[in-house]
Structure 1
Amino acid sequence: MSRTARLFQLMQSLRRHAPPVTARQLADDTGVSLRTLYRDIDSLRGLGAVIDGTAGYGYALTEDAALPPMMFEDEEIEAIVLGLREVQAVADPALAQSARNALAKLQARLPGTQAHRLQYAVLHAKRIVQPPVPTVDVRALRQATWDERTIQLDYIDAEDRASTRRVDPLSIVFLKDTHNLIGWCHLRQAYRNFRLDRMQNLTVTETSFRPRRVPMLRAALEELQHCWPEPLNIDAQMVELSES
């Protein structure tokens, strides 16, 4: 294995392992001695990689704009392109634009032959029927979810019944060709699913439910697991909660 290939493999190992990863583990991954591993760490740092840690403690990689060009397997590039093009096809306008920007940045960072493969990828994601356009500011909703801030909104359910809800937002999913929010509804005192195209007058309140979003989302998914007729892989798939 050439030294350049070994350095790329070391970068991948640093990305893959939960930090801090020991020098012995990295040396085993790259098939080198500890002495060579320490030299390779120093070489990556000299190339601009931000790697925290020392021998005897372990290492952690902080991604940095000065990193050397990324290397992907050909099918990894196809997977990335397909995923980002799917985002462009189904996401709200702001997120779709971010996906376009991400593809452009990735293409600029890849070596020439792989950049060409990214630009002319075999796989595409197209939607003949476009999803309903969300009627609220989805960027603000995403931020409230990250910040774990309760929101208030007016909602029209599937039976055309109007109500005002206070919701702890947990996750936004694209589900059954619509954008949906999974959250804890204060009115119903239960987990509920809200379609974004049926929301109006979104307000982000000052009420925080930090740091409960992750366990609440886990509980919501577990609740779904029990009520859905077929087994679900809840780590990779979300299904619709009943509206009420």
Structure 2
Amino acid sequence: MRRADRLFDIIQTLRVAPRPVTARKLAERLEVAERAIYRDIATLQARRVPIEGAAGLGYVLRRGFELPPLMFTADEIDAIAVGARMVRRLRDPGLAQAAESVLAKLATALPDSLRRDMMEPPFWVSEGSTAEPRGIDLAALRAAIRDRRKLHMTYEDAAGRRTDRVVWPIAMAYYVDATLLGAWCEKRKDYRHFRVERVLASTVLEERFEADPAVLQREWLARLD
């Protein structure tokens, strides 16, 4: 564990502890020697973190202290960097652009020592094999899900049969090789899954559906399993 991560964990442990925590307890939790904990406590106190206490008695964090808003561990930075790059697999330009924006915003707030780990991580994420949708705007589809707006679409199934449908978009399921729209289909009077790359044309309607999205999602997920 990097020392920066250990310092963060010490603060987090003291923040939630109901009583003073001894150096021995902290050392056991973080799997280091007690003398390392004493040095870490001294470092935090020198950085004006309001830790009070003494060796043998335990340490407490004075009430009211808040961590800086962007303190990440190495694993958290890796998770953000990899996750943002995995979004590219989805063939959703809006989400991909948003992911890049998130990385840029976080990078400007991170110290120099961590910025490179965020922007140039030593990880490679494959492109995946999801087909790019042509007949539907995924950003508009996500907005329709949020706004409970109905969707008219022309859909072509695996056998090449085309149908026009009005559906209630409920959710999206992202897989490595496909993106599915989960919806209630007015034509079939039932839940259906639609591969977005098979949507030939689509229009978000002004008309809204009134059913509870949480209920619809639970019922749709039951079908997805």
1:138-153 pair list within 5 angstroms: 138-153=138-153
CA distance in 1, matches of 2:105, 2:11: 19
Q: Deviations over 1:96-127 (max 9, x none)?
A: 11111111111111222221221232222122
Question: Where in structure 1 are there 5+ consecutive unaligned residues?
Answer: 14-25, 45-66, 226-244
Q: How many residues align?
A: 181
Aligned residues of 1:69 and 1:110 also touching (Cα < 8 A)? no
Q: Tell me by how many angstroms 1:30 deviates.
A: 9.6
Matched residues, percent identical? Answer: 32
Query: Does residue 36 of the first structure (1) align with residue 62 of the second (2)?
Result: yes
CA distance in 1, matches of 2:69, 2:175: 35
Residue 115 of structure 2 corresponds to 115
Question: Where in structure 2 are there 5+ consecutive unaligned residues?
Answer: 1-6, 22-50, 52-58
1:59-74 pair list within 5 angstroms: 68-74=68-74
| TM-score normalised by the chain length of structure 1 | 0.64
CA distance in 2, matches of 1:120, 1:30: 40
Residue 132 of structure 2 corresponds to 133
CA distance in 2, matches of 1:203, 1:34: 59
Matched AA of 2:93: P
Local SS of the residue matching 1:182: strand
Aligned residues of 1:82 and 1:125 also touching (Cα < 8 A)? yes
Q: Tell me by how many angstroms 1:5 deviates.
A: 5.0
Query: Does residue 86 of the first structure (1) align with residue 86 of the second (2)?
Result: yes
Matched AA of 1:174: Y
CA distance in 2, matches of 1:105, 1:30: 37
Residue 222 of structure 1 corresponds to 222
Larger Cα-atom Rg: 2
Q: Tell me by how many angstroms 1:164 deviates.
A: 0.6
Local SS of the residue matching 1:218: helix
Local SS of the residue matching 1:124: coil
CA distance in 1, matches of 2:91, 2:82: 14
CA distance in 1, matches of 2:188, 2:19: 52
Residue 191 of structure 1 corresponds to 191
Q: Tell me by how many angstroms 1:29 deviates.
A: 9.6
Local SS of the residue matching 1:121: coil
Aligned residues of 2:19 and 2:60 also touching (Cα < 8 A)? no
Report runs of 4+ in structure 1 exceeding 6 Å deviation: 29-35
Aligned residues of 2:149 and 2:209 also touching (Cα < 8 A)? yes
Residue 232 of structure 1 corresponds to none
Local SS of the residue matching 1:28: coil
Give RMSD over aligned pairs: 2.9
CA distance in 2, matches of 1:166, 1:29: 59
1:93-112 pair list within 5 angstroms: 93-112=93-112
Q: Tell me by how many angstroms 1:162 deviates.
A: 0.6
Matched AA of 1:185: C
